[in-house]
């Protein structure tokens, strides 16, 4: 069982490592003079502890611009906001105020703690929009793997759906206006699960997923899709061992039926992440998508 748990962690973290180590597609340290960095900003509380984010913005910014919240992956049970620093810096170089956020991790903290925390982060950015030079009406979310799932929840959940939590700024909206997802699960309800899927979801929900179908459904972004939701750009791999390719068809149909604009792209032969030219291309597509949706 311990060996299987290590394998599960390795699979969950693989895409994060690829993203960090693919130096041709990320900002180089020498280019950081173009941006201003702020770290360890407390954005709210969860489970009796401070929740923190790091921030990057174009240097000498003096007017409001759209913001991007970058959310790390790791099966909701590992990872840290620094995993997304290069993405955050690159977003800032594209003219956004960008934040990477920490959130409570399973199994110590079960669903919906993770959703509550990222919603709290969006509320913080919106509540402090003036001082951070953020356009509060134009906030996007970018995530990978479990972080992509949380990004989609930010784009589909309405306040009436709950899961707002008590982290702070309760009177401020937590919904974002655009979402980019790299290999994020859209539907956690299945008739069967692989060993790795079961281990990840058991930690997330506190029980085997087949015994937690109500929670699986409540945690599925596809359940909340309706007209007026955030436009989405969603990437999937056809050989992903964690996210079945059928998920791409499910969410494409749901978004189409709800008249939500965007694009669902399947990378043939790709697994739970990719690198090299394909990573460069999909990241550039992400910035173009955010430009189109958040910079009218």
3-class DSSP state for residue 71?
A: strand
Q: Is 248 helix (H, G, I), strand (E, B) or coil?
A: helix
Rounded to whole angstroms, the Cα distance separating 140 from 279 reads 20
**219, 269 Cβ separation under 8 angstroms:** no
pLDDT, residue 33, reads: 75
- The one-character DSSP state at 258 is T
Bridge partners, residue 266, by sequence: 236
As given in the structure block, the two tokens for residue 91 are 């977003």
Phi/psi region, residue 66 (left: phi>0; alpha: psi -120 to 50; beta: rest), is beta
What letter does residue 128 receive in the DSSP assignment?
T
Contact assessment for residue 254 and residue 222, using Cβ atoms and an 8 Å cutoff: yes
Place of tokens 């993203």: 19
Domain ranges of the chain: 2-26+39-294
CA atoms 134, 40, 290, 46: torsion sign: negative
CATH 3.40.50.300 is the classification of domain 2-26+39-294:
no
pLDDT tens for the chain, 296 residues long, are 444 444 444 444 444 444 443 333 333 444 677 999 999 999 999 999 899 999 999 999 999 999 999 999 999 999 999 999 999 999 999 999 999 999 999 999 999 999 999 999 999 999 999 999 999 999 999 999 999 999 999 999 999 999 999 999 999 999 999 999 999 999 999 999 999 999 999 999 999 999 999 999 999 999 999 999 999 999 999 999 999 999 999 999 999 999 999 999 999 999 999 999 999 999 999 999 999 999 97
State pTM to two decimals: 0.92
**Which letter does DSSP use for residue 12 in this model?**
H
Strands across the sheet with 49-58, in order?
A: 35-46, 49-58, 97-101, 65-71, 134-144, 178-182, 232-237, 262-267
């Amino acid at each position: 069982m311990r060996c299987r748990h290590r394998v599960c962690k390795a699979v969950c973290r693989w895409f994060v490592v690829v993203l960090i180590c693919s130096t041709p597609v990320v900002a180089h340290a020498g280019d950081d003079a173009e941006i201003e960095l702020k770290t360890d900003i407390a954005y709210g509380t969860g489970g009796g502890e401070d929740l923190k984010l790091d921030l990057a913005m174009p240097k000498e910014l003096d007017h409001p611009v759209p913001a991007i919240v970058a959310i790390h992956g790791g099966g909701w049970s590992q990872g840290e906001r620094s995993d997304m620093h290069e993405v955050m810096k690159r977003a800032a170089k594209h003219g956004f105020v960008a934040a990477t956020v920490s959130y409570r991790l399973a199994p110590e903290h079960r669903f919906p703690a993770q959703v509550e925390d990222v919603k709290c982060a969006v509320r913080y950015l919106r509540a402090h929009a003036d001082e951070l030079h953020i356009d509060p009406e134009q906030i996007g979310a970018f995530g990978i793997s479990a972080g992509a799932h949380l990004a989609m929840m930010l784009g589909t959940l309405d306040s009436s759906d709950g899961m707002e939590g008590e982290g702070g700024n309760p009177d401020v909206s937590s919904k974002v206006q655009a979402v980019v997802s790299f290999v994020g699960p859209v539907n956690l309800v299945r008739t069967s699960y692989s060993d790795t899927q079961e281990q990840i979801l058991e930690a997330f929900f506190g029980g085997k997923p087949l015994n937690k179908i109500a929670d699986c459904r409540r945690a599925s972004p596809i359940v909340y899709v309706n007209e007026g939701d955030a436009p989405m750009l969603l990437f999937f791999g056809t050989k992903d061992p964690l996210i079945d390719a059928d998920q791409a068809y499910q969410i494409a149909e749901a978004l189409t039926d709800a008249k939500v604009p965007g694009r669902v792209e399947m990378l043939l032969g790709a697994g739970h992440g990719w690198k090299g030219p394909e990573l460069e291309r999909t990241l550039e597509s992400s910035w173009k998508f955010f430009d189109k949706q958040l910079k009218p």
